[in-house]
Amino acid sequence: MAERVNSNMLFANFNQDFTCISVGTRKGYSITNCDPFGRVYTKNDGARGIVEMLFCTSLIALVGAADHPHSSPRKLQIVNTKRQSMICELLFPSSILAVKLNRKTLVIVLEVEIYIYDISNMRLMHVIETTPNPDAIVALSPSSENSYLAYPSPVPSPNTQTQPGAQPAAPSTSTQQTGDVLLFSTRSLTVANVIQAHKAPISFLSINSTGTLLATASDKGTVIRVWSIPGAEKLYQFRRGTREARIHSMNFNLVSTLLAQKGATALKTPSSPSESVDSGDGTQGLEGGYDAYVDNKKNGSVSLRRRSLHLTKNITSSVGGYLPNTLTEMWEPSRDFAFLRLPTSGARCAVALSGTMPQVMVISSEGYFYLYSIDLENGGECSLMKQYSLLDSSDEAND
């Protein structure tokens, strides 16, 4: 099934705390508040292929779009929307594929390089050489205190532990990718750990708000694993299905009790929500909380799974704690806890969870924002509460 996209929308993403959405179009860019929903800033100054915010501040990172006049995908601009001023402008040797920010660090991802800057003075601190990474598979901690960068490891590692103070491994001359993930400290500028996450190549990485958990998915997309940072202990393992699917979006909620993910399944015929989820395995639960994730299929349905706790409160004392080594993984059949249906199928989406309400937020490549409510007590089908357009009426009319 071909992806359904709005040809005028070139980029859309949530900010670090999921309170705002940044949108890049053929005309320029805009910032929209999630709750209450509303456009808060618009500037039509040329096509924008990347628009990334720094939380809810006025600092915005902008990148031009390929194949658009007067717009270069190699040029990064940091602007202050409140002062209407340009902070800096940088030109890179190849197209910028992704930009990641926290309050101390700016990360620029090229196909074979990652640039790390001190965001306070825009001083270049480090350059990492990588194997070809055309999908810009990178995650940066939103936390500036536990500031770690995760990306596919350039070389397979015989062990998972890297000695403290070790320098990054040299990139492999082979383009074959592994299922290992490299954790790099942007504060000490050293490798913190190497995680043997999957057997298949990595397809998506996500770090929670406090920089203590890393979620990983492989190209197969059948298993999602959650690891401690920087210790690389496997905390949770979710089997999202037996059919392979590419994960396009994955985010923790702010308190790290939920993990939302959106994938495109290889299924060619629609299936019911109950059929879209297979049995799974879990290793632990958070104190007083639950483990769940959202699974968005191409048939336009999203399901939320909830797992019973295997641990008592005295075992897990805090979010991000992990099982003692003497305890082994336990198999638990999963069940559908809740699901939601998207109005249309085939659209590429980004998903996130509200930090204040039991709600799922979805950005669609068709240019829409959907808000669903979750009944955390009874589960069942989530209710579509609101649907908004992220584009101007003129953009939609010209599509």
**Least confident range of 3-17, 87-101, 148-162, 285-299:** 285-299
- Give yes or no for residue 64 having a pLDDT over 70: yes
- Give yes or no for residue 287 having a pLDDT over 90: no
pLDDT-based confidence at 257, cuts 50/70/90?
Answer: confident
**Least confident range of 63-77, 88-102, 150-164, 225-239:** 150-164
Mean pLDDT, all residues of the chain: 78
Of 57, 56, 32, 52, residue with least CA distance to 42: 32
Instruction: Specify whether domain 135-157+179-262 bears CATH 2.130.10.10.
Output: yes
The structure's pTM equals: 0.80
**Least confident range of 58-72, 242-256, 321-335:** 321-335
| Residue 71: per-residue pLDDT | 87
| Residue 307: per-residue pLDDT | 39
Q: Name residues whose C-beta falls within 8 Å of residue 127's C-beta, 6 or more positions apart in sequence.
A: 113, 114, 115, 116
More confident residue, 93 or 165: 93
More confident residue, 66 or 140: 140
- Give yes or no for residue 279 having a pLDDT over 80: no
| Residue 331: per-residue pLDDT | 37
Please confirm whether the linkage preceding 168 is cis (ω < 30° from 0): no
More confident residue, 299 or 228: 228
pLDDT-based confidence at 165, cuts 50/70/90?
Answer: very low
For the residues 311-336, what does the mean pLDDT come to? 34
- Give yes or no for residue 75 having a pLDDT over 50: yes
What are the sequence ranges of the domains in the chain?
135-157+179-262
For the residues 326-340, what does the mean pLDDT come to? 44
| Residue 32: per-residue pLDDT | 98
More confident residue, 125 or 279: 125
pLDDT-based confidence at 261, cuts 50/70/90?
Answer: confident
- Give yes or no for residue 282 having a pLDDT over 60: no
**Percent of the chain with pLDDT strictly greater than 70:** 72
